[in-house]
Amino acid sequence: MDTGFLTDTQLLDHFLNRNFISDIEIIVPNKVVKIYFLGNMYYEKMVCSDEDTFDLERCCYLALAKHFYREDYTMEGIEWLATYHLPFLKDWNICVKNALKNFYRKEEEKRKEEEDQKEKERIAESKRQKKIAYKKRREERVKEERAKALSDEYAIALDTLYKELTKRGFINSEDRECSDF
């Protein structure tokens, strides 16, 4: 939410289109709501009592009535205005419907952004697991190659040893048994 001042053309747009509600912020779900007016310069904090049921549209009408008629009416009069008068005026109705539409659009964008973030984290975790599995397979393959190379070297070394011992006469060439020294 930006807290900057509105230009004259923005103010004119707000007054001509009756787009007084610039943002809706839910502080405590189904309990406390802040409704910002005219480019977030002013706001009304609305608290739903325990015996009432929470309705965001009614909350917007109450905030409008409270914001514009605070000096003229009592709280009972403001509630009467919000319940029986403002919802039937076209400009105020358009204002509330636009504000709710923008609020739900922003909520949907937040939800999609969270889903995208979760998907990115899931993909990153999957890549990390694949990389770990690849490194493990590569280590096992290297170990097997080393063992095979060592066994080959061992076989070659044994073979040369037998040849050398046979040449010197310590081993019979037919049965490969060692003779006494």
What pLDDT, on a 0 to 100 scale, did the predictor assign at position 172?
Answer: 67
Q: Given the DSSP bridges, would you call strands 42-47 and 32-37 parallel, antiparallel or unpaired?
A: antiparallel
Q: How many whole angstroms separate alpha carbon 92 and alpha carbon 67?
A: 13
pLDDT at residue 1 in the model: 44
Chain centroid offset of residue 64 CA: 33
**Cβ proximity of 48 and 59 under 8 Å:** yes
pLDDT in tens, 66-104: 888 888 888 888 888 888 888 888 878 888 898 899 999
Residue 12, both tokens: 């004119």
User: Among 43, 5, 6, which Cα is nearest to 27's?
Assistant: 43
- Confidence category of residue 33, pLDDT binned at 50, 70, 90: very high
Q: What is the mean pLDDT of the chain?
A: 83
Give the least confident one: 60-64, 109-113, 146-150.
146-150
Average pLDDT of the segment spanning 9-26: 70
What is the DSSP track for 74-114?
A: -HHHHHHIIIIIGGGSHHHHHHHHHHHHHHHHHHHHHHHHH
Task: State the angle between helix axes of 56-69 and 90-168 in degrees (0 to 180), rounded to the nearest 10.
Answer: 130
pLDDT, mean of residues 165-173: 74
pTM recorded for the entire structure: 0.62
Check whether 179 has a pLDDT greater than 80.
Answer: no
Domain ranges in the chain? 8-121
pLDDT at 92: 82
DSSP letter at 172 equals -
